[in-house]
């Protein structure tokens, strides 16, 4: 069924549970009375106020709406577009985003099944034309990338618009309604609606809620509609209206480069490249044109060509479909009869991060490109946004469910803003690494940019605009002459020295990389909803733009290391799951890892007791070494009674010399690790707790959830 080809009547997807009040309640196991807290000050009995409104149905807004819906939080989404763009845009999904998708009812596996085979996209190819000489080719996959040692899933190459389709399907499976503007009546939103053709134009934060005005076209006239929500999340992209309306400034470098993106189809070109030189990115340098071709799908012949754009001397009219076709042919180097130009879009590359991610008393929040925009080199834009949504969802759920005060939402900024700043610096490094290739060929893009600036703002600005254009074209033509076959060959002294330099650049990994395992899986929150170890606060290593391997770590703030484990309770199943899969995606639940030792069981009992007091769920995971699993279940049952939320698992080692769980975590089995619902480590004890474990767990949960005790 088409995503937008129908309009259903509203139906309640999730009804609000009664608000938690401060009253004595009987515990789950019937042996204690506890004082429950409430932090939600909003009126969730009031159907006219939505708990969460998301503005922008790009990948980040859609992922957030899925995560929240799975956690039982009512949310609706506004999208200004009447339909979804087919411009492929992002295509590289990194390992951590694939782990997030793995928990969205197998979305990662669906992507893996639908993406092109990895051998068709593992390389970047550098050439003077697509059918001409290859200057170099870099393979970005290493054997360990396929071994699933550090993660249960792998990176993927899948166009953004195809991802959007799968995300919409996931939302529909969760009973979300995707509505056309004309299909709406004036009923208040109940949560679970994606409203197409609705542009947020005004916001007004009052005492307890945010009033949002959305404009939509109804019977030929723009009509406004007001929506009240408790939390407003702006996932409305790089030019975010929410960011502007909330008065949040961007900080960083603007206008690094202007480009034109040409989306086109050619099955002939796809077939040729598939057979002759498959790859993901083709950097093409020839005397007539320069461009980067992104092969979104060689089998379908779907491509995007990125070319530098120099306004005001150049205008978008200079990139008509016919001109683009001619430029494509120059870059291909031979005739093709089936080029079909679909879309031509200019865009500007920035390296900026919002000064705040959370404002208006924690009620207005920015995520994705609305909060950060950086060069696409290295593919961190959408991935960083997806991971913003993952960090945010459980915190919103904890607040809406009354488990944590609104200050938990502020930890989203404390944790994610430094990551955005780091990824911006990394993307700028990557952009520079990409520019090192043309610079080695004698075509330094920084020189081209300064020439352009001198003509636009400096001495050249006195020239009439037509003449400025002629001068610019002339200088660029002279520049591109460096790429002529006459110069760029092994027999020419200058050419051979440039080619040798280029080879060194590729061999030393100094050209643009595709994978960054250390940053992709190894990013770490230093403060926020966690308790840092006094001995683990290390300075961030500045980004290098080079591939560095991920080293598993149990330092608080790190992602939980992956290891395959075998569930002991299910004696019929020999199936292994990842430690990351032990956390559910549909519940705000913490996970406490312990070894089967007496003191650790005491700590686990204290954690279960305290968690109940804090109205939060904790599951205990008892990790047994592979060789001592006999009697595991009886031992844990007796030690943890009357609590039942625990799981016994055994390490499923790949080989006898692989690291054990505790040594991989650089700890001993006397310690314990507490993991948050987003699979980041909240707290760890490196050795057994000798003081009162209940007091310790109270300290831990109050610090993580920002609850005063
Ligand atoms: C050429 C290129 C290649 C890229 N490659 C990669 C890659 O390989 N990997 C990667 O991770 N990233 C990549 N990126 C970046 C990636 O495309 C973006 O980071 C990503 O689209 C951001 O997602 P988002 O949901 O935050 O915003 P967007 O995708 O911009 O979505 C925002 C949505 O909000 C809607 N909207 C805007 N204003 C309003 C309003 N006022 N009211 C209602 N709705 C509104 C818009 O219509 C849009 O649908 C690339 C970008 C470019 C340009």
Centre of ligand 1 from the C-alpha of residue 624, in Å: 44
pLDDT at residue number 604? 98
Three-state DSSP state, 279: coil
Which has more confidence, 219 or 685? 685
Ligand 1: centre distance to CA 235 (Å): 9
Cβ distance 150 to 562 under 8 Å?
A: yes
- Which of 641, 472, 652 lies closest to 562 in space, CA to CA? 652
Q: Which residue's C-alpha comes closest to atom 50 of ligand 1?
A: 90
pLDDT of residue 17: 34
Confidence check: pLDDT of 16 > 50: no
Q: Whose CA is nearest to atom 53 of ligand 1?
A: 89
Ligand 1, atom nearest to 56 Cα: 34
661, two tokens:
């769980």
Residue 515 has pLDDT above 70, yes or no: yes
Decide if 255 contacts 310 (C-beta within 8 A): no
- Enumerate residues 6+ apart whose C-beta is below 8 A from 690: none
pLDDT tens track for 156-185? 999 999 999 999 999 999 999 999 877 666
Predicted structure pTM score: 0.91
| 338-356: average pLDDT | 96
**C-alpha 328 to ligand 1 mean position (Å):** 25
What are the tens digits of pLDDT across the range 101-149? 999 999 999 999 999 999 999 999 999 999 999 999 999 999 989 988 9
Q: Measured from the CB, is residue 376 less than 6 Å from ligand 1?
A: yes
Q: Are strands 672-675 and 681-685 parallel, antiparallel or unpaired?
A: antiparallel
What is the distance in A from the centroid of ligand 1 to the CA of 637?
A: 49
Answer yes or no: is the C-beta of 98 below 6 A from any ligand 1 atom.
Answer: no
Question: 392 with 68: CB under 8 angstroms?
Answer: no
* 385 C-beta closer than 6 A to ligand 1: yes
CB-facing half-sphere around the CA of 589: CA atoms within 13 A: 20
pLDDT of residue 32: 32
* Closest listed residue to residue 351, CA positions, set 242, 417, 413, 426: 426
Question: Residue 582 pLDDT > 50, yes or no?
Answer: yes
State the DSSP H helix or E strand holding residue 389, giving kind and residue range, or none if neither.
helix 381-400
What local confidence, expressed as pLDDT, does residue 450 receive? 75
Report pLDDT digits (tens) over 626-659.
766 778 888 999 999 999 999 999 998 767 667 8
The residue to which tokens 């949002």 are assigned: 212
Q: What is the pLDDT of residues 18-61, one digit of tens each?
A: 322 222 233 333 333 333 345 555 544 567 899 999 999 999 99
How many C-beta atoms surround the C-beta of residue 679 within 10 A? Answer: 23
Under DSSP, the state recorded for 608 is H
Residue 163 Cβ inside 6 Å of ligand 1? The answer reads no
Cβ contacts of residue 309 below 8 Å, gap of 6+?
Answer: 258, 259, 260, 319, 346
Strand ranges, E, within 310-443: 340-354, 358-359, 364-366, 372-373
d(CA 640, CA 104): 31
pLDDT in tens, 272-311: 999 999 999 999 999 999 999 999 999 999 999 999 998 8
For residue 382, how far is its CA from the centre of ligand 1 (angstroms)? 7
The token pair at 510 is 């100094």
Check pLDDT > 90 for residue 453. Answer: no
């Amino acid at each position: 069924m088409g995503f937008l080809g129908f309009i259903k009547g509203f139906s309640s997807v999730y009804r609000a549970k009664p608000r938690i009040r401060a009253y004595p309640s009987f515990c789950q196991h019937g042996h204690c009375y506890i004082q429950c807290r409430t932090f939600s000050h909003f009126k969730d009995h009031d159907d006219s106020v939505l708990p969460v409104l998301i503005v922008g149905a790009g990948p980040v807004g859609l992922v957030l709406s899925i995560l929240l819906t799975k956690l039982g939080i009512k949310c609706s989404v506004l999208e200004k577009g009447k339909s979804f763009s087919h411009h492929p845009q992002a295509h590289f999904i990194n390992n951590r985003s694939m782990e997030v998708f793995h928990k969205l009812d197998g979305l990662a596996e669906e992507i893996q099944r639908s993406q092109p085979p990895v051998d068709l996209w593992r390389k970047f190819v550098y050439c003077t034309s697509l059918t001409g000489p290859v200057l170099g080719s870099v393979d970005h996959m290493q054997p360990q990338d396929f071994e699933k040692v550090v993660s249960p899933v792998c990176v993927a190459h899948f166009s953004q618009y195809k991802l959007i389709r799968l995300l919409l399907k996931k939302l529909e499976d969760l009973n979300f309604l995707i509505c056309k503007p004309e299909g709406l009546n004036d009923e208040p939103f109940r949560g679970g609606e994606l409203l197409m053709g609705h542009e947020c134009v005004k916001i007004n934060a009052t005492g307890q809620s945010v009033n949002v005005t959305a404009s939509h076209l109804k019977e030929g006239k723009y009509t406004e509609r007001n929506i009240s929500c408790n939390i407003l999340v702006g996932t409305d992209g790089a030019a975010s209206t929410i960011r502007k309306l909330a008065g949040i400034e961007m900080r960083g470098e603007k206008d690094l480069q202007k480009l034109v993106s040409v989306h086109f189809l050619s099955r002939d070109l796809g077939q040729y490249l598939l057979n002759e030189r498959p790859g993901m990115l083709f950097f093409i340098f020839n005397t007539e044109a320069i461009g980067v071709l992104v092969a979104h799908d060689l089998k379908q012949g779907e491509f995007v060509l990125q070319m530098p754009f120099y306004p005001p001397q150049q205008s978008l009219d200079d990139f008509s479909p016919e001109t683009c076709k001619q430029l494509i042919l120059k870059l291909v180097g031979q005739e093709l009869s089936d080029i079909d130009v679909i879309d031509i879009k200019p865009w500007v590359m920035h390296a900026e991060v919002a000064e705040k991610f959370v404002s208006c008393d924690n009620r207005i929040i920015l995520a994705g490109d609305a909060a950060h925009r950086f060069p696409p080199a290295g593919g961190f834009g959408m991935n960083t946004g997806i991971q913003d949504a993952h960090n945010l969802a459980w915190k919103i759920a904890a607040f809406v469910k009354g488990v944590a005060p609104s200050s938990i939402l502020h930890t989203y900024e404390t944790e994610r803003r430094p990551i955005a700043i780091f990824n911006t610096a990394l993307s700028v490094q990557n952009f520079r690494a990409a520019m090192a290739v043309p610079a080695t060929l004698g075509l330094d893009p920084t020189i081209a940019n300064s020439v352009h600036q001198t003509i636009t703002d400096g001495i050249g600005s006195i020239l009439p605009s037509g003449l400025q254009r002629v001068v610019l074209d002339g200088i660029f033509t002279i520049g591109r002459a460096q790429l002529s076959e006459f110069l760029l060959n092994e027999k020419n002294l200058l050419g051979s020295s440039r080619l040798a330099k280029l080879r060194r650049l590729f061999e030393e990994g100094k050209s643009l990389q595709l994978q960054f395992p250390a940053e992709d899986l190894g990013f770490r929150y230093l403060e926020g909803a966690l308790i840092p170890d006094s001995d683990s606060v290390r300075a961030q290593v500045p980004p290098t733009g080079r591939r560095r391997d991920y080293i598993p770590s149990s330092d608080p703030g790190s992602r939980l290391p992956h290891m395959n484990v075998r569930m002991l309770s299910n004696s019929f199943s020999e199936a292994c799951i990842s430690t990351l899969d032990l956390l559910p995606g549909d519940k705000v639940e913490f996970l406490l890892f312990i070894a089967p030792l007496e003191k650790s069981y005491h700590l686990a009992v204290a954690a279960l007791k305290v968690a109940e007091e804090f109205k939060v769920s904790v599951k205990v995971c008892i990790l047994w070494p592979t060789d001592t699993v006999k009697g595991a279940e009886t031992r844990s049952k007796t030690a943890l009674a009357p609590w039942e939320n625990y799981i016994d698992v055994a390490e499923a080692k790949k080989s006898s010399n692989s690291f054990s769980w505790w040594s991989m975590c650089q700890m001993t089995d006397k310690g314990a690790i507490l993991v948050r619902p987003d699979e980041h480590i909240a707290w760890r004890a490196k050795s057994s707790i000798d003081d009162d474990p209940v007091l310790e767990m109270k300290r831990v949960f109050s610090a993580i959830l920002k609850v005063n005790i």
